[in-house]
Structure 1
Amino acid sequence: MSEYSKSGVNLDKLKQYHNFIANYLGSSRLEVGIGHYAGVIKFDDKYLAMHVDGVGTKTLLALKTGIIEPTGVDCIAMNVNDIVCVGARPIAIVDYLALEGEMDDVIQKVMKGLKAGAEEAEVNIIGGETAIMPGVIKGYDLSCSAIGIADALKTGEDVRPGDVVLGLASNGVHSNGYSLIRKLIDEGKLRLDDWAEELMKPTKIYVKSVLSVKDKIKAVAHITGGSFSKLRRITKFGISLKMPEPLDIFKAIESAGVSHEEMYKVFNMGVGMVIFVDKKLKDDVIDTLAKRNDVVYELGVVTEGNGIKISTYKNSIVYL
């Protein structure tokens, strides 16, 4: 049994839920079906992409540490990063904030974070909902819905063996795996006082980076819950990756009792966004991103077959 399952999150069961929902609600009218990073419909000569996501249980650590503002940025990031994964430019956000009770400080800091994230992603927050729900909410819960627009989609249909896989560096843990992290903290295996600042860093917003190379790439994958298994949304071909050495926070989580293999099945391990590109355009894409001061890793290649092989910084192999 994985440590993540012990914390109350069974990724296999969650995948079953996702598959059931996609099959039950799916429509032939969708340009990109349920289960990709965003749902897409055709509207006149444009594609409209929509996505909804939240911050998750990171909000509980926000209350413990008093570092609340980054969760507003997280909420924007988790949505706009997924919108650009289908090749769309995010244009508008609505937020949903549910509170356990009156929480003036939370309201002010969350709104400040939402505003900062929206400005970074160049999207407009056009409305939302705030609710007080005692007995239902513990602390606060924060989610957003986003809409984006595109002239053409990037869904990975043209990804082929030989294509290069690039990675954009993450800020840290971002906004997934926090049920497991909280379990380690509650058990005294990971000291919150030592890692509060690192754990509460906001999810990096990749919108400008991805859009700067959109016309030169084949596909994009946001690495969130389920980690690199997310690459299955892009291609069924094989993928071989050599991962960089991760930030210290990931080493600390592993040392607290998570197996090396599970780390690469739960966390982003320092890579928050993955880009698929034809090898002939690889250098051009890297140069463009480097000029933006993005940290870019050449992770590996698309291969024949259908497995994901990850070579870690410890020279171990993880198969997904």
Structure 2
Amino acid sequence: MNTSLGSSAELFNGIAAAAVSHKPIPVKPLLFKFNTPFHSFPKRLHLLSLSSSSNRRIRTTSEISCSKIEEAVGGLTYKDAGVDIDAGSELVRRIAKMAPGIGGFGGLFPLGDSYLVAGTDGVGTKLKLAFETGIHETIGIDLVAMSVNDIVTSGAKPLFFLDYFATSHLDVDLAEKVIKGIVDGCQQSDCALLGGETAEMPDFYEDGEYDLSGFAVGIVKKDSVIDGKNIVAGDVLIGLPSSGVHSNGFSLVRRVLAKSGLSLKDQLPGGSNKLITLGEALMAPTIIYVKQVLDIISKGGVKGIAHITGGGFTDNIPRVFPKGLGATIYKDSWEIPAVFKWIQEAGRIEDAEMRRTFNMGIGMVLVASPEASVRILEDTHGGYSAYRIGEVTSGEGVTYE
């Protein structure tokens, strides 16, 4: 069904979400110090392009039947869970031959003295956990975050968002909860929920299940675009903390759950000596970085921005670098949410695999000049945290020290 102004709450009554004051939902991450050895990551390079082509990144999801999962030999990998990052990268390479310019976090389209910046994404198999936990109120925040966090990497302010909600049989109460989360995400992003599509497709999905995708468009002046071209060796990597797993790697998370026999109701130690269920920790909504990032870049000195999603540090940080540059990450420079420790220990996952699958507690990485980095790290305006997590180096790839 197409949404319409008269019948759908999705249109937000035509009022831009920016008109409503709304602070991000506070999420207190579970923390621990990660002291196991790190390994160097494979060399990988994706150049940000300013062509008019839209962006394209691959998210592969695998619906795994827990009853058919075989015992893994050695540590689990994302590929064991049915997600092949290398295959996704190969598809992007082939598509780029047909549509040059593919590969940035957002697709840039010239419009006068500005660029329109567009992005699209979903939330992957995190939806499976929403079905199992019954937590549907925040999955819409995840949906908005995945697109607006991509387009803000170009310095673009999100203008509007559209969603696609598909289900076998429409449960109006459940759909309202999901869309309320989308509205919340748009409010956090200062963008308008412009409309969407509600599709009811009998027999296509299991009863009680649904699928989501979203599309965001923003704008940035051509002389203000963040494109990474001026990054040089010696520039500083600044990490903005995540709330947890965000919306990537859940096929591997679900594989670990199935293999370990643990339940989403099992408890982990939280802050202030409180306990939190594993399901609650995994369902923590993705942080929307729009306001923080736009505030930081408005003060100058930011040369590149990487949204840490599928591919982790390994694939995402080098995407913003010019050819011939890589990164050194300081392994003890931030505290890592405890949920990642559980994932790694329960799945016996290698360090390099963790860092190519998950954000490991850093959801966004800014590349700034040394002078600007001092100001950014000292500025506590808004109560946000930031960490100096590394530096740009000569030579491609990501290493740890």
The reply to whether TM is greater than 0.5 is yes
**Structure label with greater radius of gyration:** 2
Equivalent position amino acid for 2:175 in 1: I
Partner of residue 329, structure 2: 241
Residue correspondence of structure 1 range 76-115 to structure 2 within 5 A = 76-115=144-183
Point out the more displaced range, 134-143 or 113-122.
Answer: 134-143
| 8 A contact 1:177–1:266 mirrored in 2 | yes
Aligned equivalents of 1:192, 1:50: Cα separation in 2: 35
The alpha-carbon deviation at position 189 of structure 1 amounts to 4.3
Kindly indicate whether residue 302 of structure 2 is the aligned counterpart of residue 217 of structure 1: yes
Tell me, what secondary structure is at the counterpart of 1:84? helix
The CA RMSD measured in Å over matched residues stands at 1.4
Counterpart selection for 1:292 from 382, 392, 400: 382
Kindly indicate whether residue 200 of structure 2 is the aligned counterpart of residue 132 of structure 1: yes
Aligned equivalents of 1:270, 1:82: Cα separation in 2: 17
The alpha-carbon deviation at position 238 of structure 1 amounts to 1.5
Tell me, what secondary structure is at the counterpart of 1:114? helix
The alpha-carbon deviation at position 2 of structure 1 amounts to 5.4
Partner of residue 158, structure 1: 230
Tell me, what secondary structure is at the counterpart of 1:159? coil
The alpha-carbon deviation at position 265 of structure 1 amounts to 1.0
Residue correspondence of structure 1 range 264-275 to structure 2 within 5 A = 264-275=355-366
The alpha-carbon deviation at position 125 of structure 1 amounts to 0.6
The alpha-carbon deviation at position 192 of structure 1 amounts to 1.3
The alpha-carbon deviation at position 102 of structure 1 amounts to 2.4
Equivalent position amino acid for 2:355 in 1: Y
Matched length: 304
Aligned equivalents of 2:117, 2:124: Cα separation in 1: 22
Partner of residue 252, structure 1: 342
Counterpart selection for 2:131 from 55, 63, 86: 63
Aligned equivalents of 1:186, 1:224: Cα separation in 2: 23
Partner of residue 370, structure 2: 279
Point out the more displaced range, 296-305 or 181-190.
Answer: 181-190
Q: Which has the higher contact order (CA 8 A, sep 6+)?
A: 2
TM-score by length of 2: 0.73
What does the per-residue CA deviation read over 1:127-185, in whole Å, with 9 as the maximum and x for residues that have no partner? Answer: 11011223433421111100000012101111100000000000000000001111112
Point out the more displaced range, 302-311 or 119-128.
Answer: 302-311
Aligned pair in 2 of structure 1 residues 159, 137: CA closer, same or farther (>3 Å)? farther
- What percent of counterpart residues are identical? 40
- Runs in 1 of length 4+ with deviation above 6 angstroms? none
Aligned pair in 2 of structure 1 residues 134, 6: CA closer, same or farther (>3 Å)? farther
Aligned equivalents of 1:205, 1:150: Cα separation in 2: 18
| 8 A contact 1:75–1:142 mirrored in 2 | yes
Equivalent position amino acid for 2:381 in 1: K
Partner of residue 29, structure 1: none
5+ unaligned residues in a row in structure 2: which ranges?
Answer: 1-74, 267-277
Partner of residue 149, structure 1: 219
| 8 A contact 2:318–2:326 mirrored in 1 | no
Aligned equivalents of 1:120, 1:204: Cα separation in 2: 9
Aligned equivalents of 1:270, 1:253: Cα separation in 2: 13
| 8 A contact 1:216–1:285 mirrored in 2 | no
Kindly indicate whether residue 298 of structure 2 is the aligned counterpart of residue 232 of structure 1: no
What does the per-residue CA deviation read over 1:50-71, in whole Å, with 9 as the maximum and x for residues that have no partner? Answer: 1101111111110100011111
Aligned equivalents of 2:344, 2:262: Cα separation in 1: 10
5+ unaligned residues in a row in structure 1: which ranges?
Answer: 27-32, 312-320
Counterpart selection for 2:115 from 27, 34, 47: 47
TM-score by length of 1: 0.91
